[in-house]
Amino acid sequence: MPVFADGNVPASISMDSGTLTFHAAGAGEREVRSLRDAFAGWTSLVKNDQSPILRDAAELAQLAYQRWAYYRRGLSVASTLKDLRAKINDNPHAEVAVLLLAKSDIRYRSVRMNVVAICLFRRTWYNNLYIDFLAKHPRAPFASAGGAVLWHISKVAKSIGAHAIWGETTQNSVGYYKRVLGKKRMTDLLFLKRKEYEAFANDFEAEEKVG
């Protein structure tokens, strides 16, 4: 599975809690089945858990996979950043979906394929990045995995000159986004202009001692 990196977009991020490497799901049938089974495992892990946040994470992972599988049939998908750039160059108004996988260098017994966080996002026809779903593995203790995914997406956004990153929050995720992004006020809409997502990426690197 190739890394989702190119030029100024790093393939990985090293933090105090470990190193994450970023990949994007490909279209091969064997890989698709492996991912389906891995995300189904998230649901099995929390089926008896009372935490709505952990159950949400498992549900969002399943929804991300299902939506991405739907996009594969009717929308362009990219498994590398080079592929994303090529599709944009071919059609400046192309909508392209990416299922981003954050893989840890630390092996956790309950984490299949080492995937500790996922994010389904789309490059829109107006050259924004829309976050469909973002979720951290409910049993992986990797600190800041969700923030690292947002950091990577911010790097991708900057590399293609995206005007903004946006998406929808839930009642269980809005507090997390406020904390990670340093926003005191946020509703069901997550919206970061270019200056904001670039500032977030710089702040995240400084706070997490990225190196």
Task: Give 165-188 as a DSSP string.
Answer: EEEE--TTTHHHHHHHHT-S---S
What topology is assigned to 12-148 in CATH? Aminopeptidase (3.40.630)
Give the Cα separation of 207 and 4 in Å (integer).
Answer: 23
The answer on pLDDT for 210 being more than 70 is: no
Q: In the structure, what pLDDT confidence band is assigned to residue 48 with cuts at 50, 70 and 90?
A: confident
Q: How many residues does the chain have?
A: 211
Write down the domain spans for the chain.
12-148
Q: Dihedrals φ, ψ of 8, to 5°? A: -85, 5
Do 172 and 139 form a contact (C-beta atoms < 8 A)? no
Q: What is the pLDDT of residues 49-107, one digit of tens each?
A: 778 888 888 888 889 988 998 888 877 899 999 999 999 999 999 999 999 999 999 88
Its pTM stands at 0.92
Q: What is the pLDDT of residues 151-169, one digit of tens each?
A: 999 999 999 999 999 999 9
Q: What is the pLDDT of residues 103-155, one digit of tens each?
A: 999 888 888 888 999 999 999 999 999 999 999 998 888 878 999 999 999 99
% of the chain surpassing 90 pLDDT: 57
Residue 92 neighbours by CB under 8 Å, 6+ apart: 127
Residue linked to tokens 């950091």 = 151
